[in-house]
Amino acid sequence: PNLIEIQTKSFELFLKEGIKKILKDISPIESNNGDLKLYFDDFYLDKPKYNIEEAKNRDITYYAQLFAKARLENVLTKEIKESNILITELPLITPSGTFIINGTERVVISQIVRSSGIYFTKKFDSKIRYLAQLIPTRGAWIEYEQSNKDFLYAKLDRSKKIPLNKFICCLGFDTKEKIESTFGYNKFLDLSLKKDQILNINEAIIELHSKLHRGEKVPVDVAREFIFSKLFYAKKYDLLAVGRYKFNQKLDVLKRIKNTYLAKDLIDPETNEIFLSKKTFLNEEIIEKLKNKRNCFTFELVNADNNLENEINEEILTYANYNKDKILELYIKDNIINIKTGEILVEKDTLITEQVMNIIRKNGQFIHDKVSKYFLCNKDLYQKHKERKGVFNEVLEVYILDNLGNPKPTIKVIGNIQSENNKQHITVSDIIASISYYLNLYEDIGKTDDIDHLG
């Protein structure tokens, strides 16, 4: 086999697709107040100034200049300027798979790294303990583990541990009852809940931020924005398509319930009739039927206000209502004021029309930056409201039999939303499903991975 081809083909793919994807990932770059946006639409490489032999003889690098076709957009005035800008001097690969750096041939040594995905492993230390790792291609790891005293913990980005119940609270579950009704009873999770029964979503978010920042305490909106940027901001967190595929395969609720029994009737929401009766044995044939009826077991677990993927309620400057024709309309939540004169430009509860938007555009420099950015610099306001939604998961209640053939206690099995296969960052739905998978391992539901397997 031509082993050199591994290097040359890889570099060729980088030139054809990799650079374009990187430029797409970082576009647009926004100014602090959001009124300027810099887009990188395309790129091109200049011809190398020196060929391979000349680079060796002159003790210089064999390279080509990389230019990007940039577009600067003023969001307020809609003015656009275009230009070609130099990004870098990019070293080029030679036909023999090497790079000429300062006249010397260098080679790139390939490393074997664990690919993005979710991994569950177990270790034996007088008793079985489980470990979970949620690994992106780029971004913060999430890990779950069990201590020697049997308490369950979570870690974000290899930081200090936070009790798993506190981490769950960050996701929008603010009472012991909510956690148990969602995830079901787990004796190890119950230990943590008994140790610390005071659950407050904002306090939990601040504590998680504090663990990441060596004890630094900040307001909840700052902490929440930081966690959003760590996990749900596509420019900082990337699973790639292969990672999203592996997440969805691992977290599909239907992959975990084979050879279990349905603990309660499954109701079809479209007909309000029983689709599957409780005590149904879930074999491959039944599971195949369930694949086309996911709406029967899809539920909202966290409302829109507590969804970490959404802007916090205080940052939403509009509210929505449906008119008599059932058409969605948006209204101003608070008075929009000229910060220099104190004049009310638009009163609260005003229906947003093109006339209102023109007033805001005309006075953009005299209103608060936050208001200007919200109305003028972001995506369509109606689209923002449509995207602001709760967290949905697929949930089934099942049981297995003991050695005598008697039913064991009911187990809640939670999967992620399989339809969200285009998101290449992690979602709250993924995190909830991964916690469920981890807890289910202690109930003999799910399986662990072979860490020596390179797939």
Q: What is the pLDDT of residue 312?
A: 66
Q: How far, in Å, CA of 165 to CA of 160, rounded?
A: 15
Three-state secondary-structure class, residue 109:
coil
The owner of tokens 């997440």 is 247
Q: Which residues pair with 332 in a beta bridge?
A: 318
Residue 197's pLDDT band, with cuts at 50, 70 and 90, is low
Taking residues 439-444, report their average pLDDT: 95
Q: How far, in Å, CA of 430 to CA of 418, rounded?
A: 10
3-state SS of 218-281 is CCHHHHHHHHHHHHCCCCCCECHHHHHHHHHHHHCHHHCCCCEEECCCEEECCCCEEEECCCCE
2-6, 217-221, 288-292, 349-353: lowest mean pLDDT where? 2-6
Q: What is the pLDDT of residues 319-373, one digit of tens each?
A: 888 888 878 888 998 899 999 899 999 999 999 998 998 898 888 888 888 888 7
Q: With beta carbons less than 8 A apart as the criterion, state whether 451 and 223 touch.
A: no
For residues 33 and 264, the model is more confident at 264
Q: How far, in Å, CA of 453 to CA of 447, rounded?
A: 15
Q: What is the pLDDT of residue 386?
A: 73
Taking residues 20-44, report their average pLDDT: 86
Does this model's pTM top 0.95? no
Q: What is the pLDDT of residues 58-79, one digit of tens each?
A: 999 999 999 999 999 987 778 8
18-27, 185-194, 368-377: lowest mean pLDDT where? 368-377
Taking residues 43-50, report their average pLDDT: 94
Q: With beta carbons less than 8 A apart as the criterion, state whether 262 and 393 touch.
A: no
Q: How far, in Å, CA of 169 to CA of 306, rounded?
A: 10
Q: Is the pLDDT of residue 423 over 90?
A: no
Taking residues 138-155, report their average pLDDT: 92
- Quick count: other Cβ atoms within 10 Å of Cβ 280? 16
Q: Percentage of the chain surpassing pLDDT 70?
A: 96
Q: How far, in Å, CA of 167 to CA of 118, rounded?
A: 18
Q: Is the pLDDT of residue 431 over 90?
A: yes
> What tokens were used for 50?
């020196």
For residues 107 and 143, the model is more confident at 143
Compute φ and ψ for 156, nearest 5 degrees: -115, 125
Residue 125's pLDDT band, with cuts at 50, 70 and 90, is confident
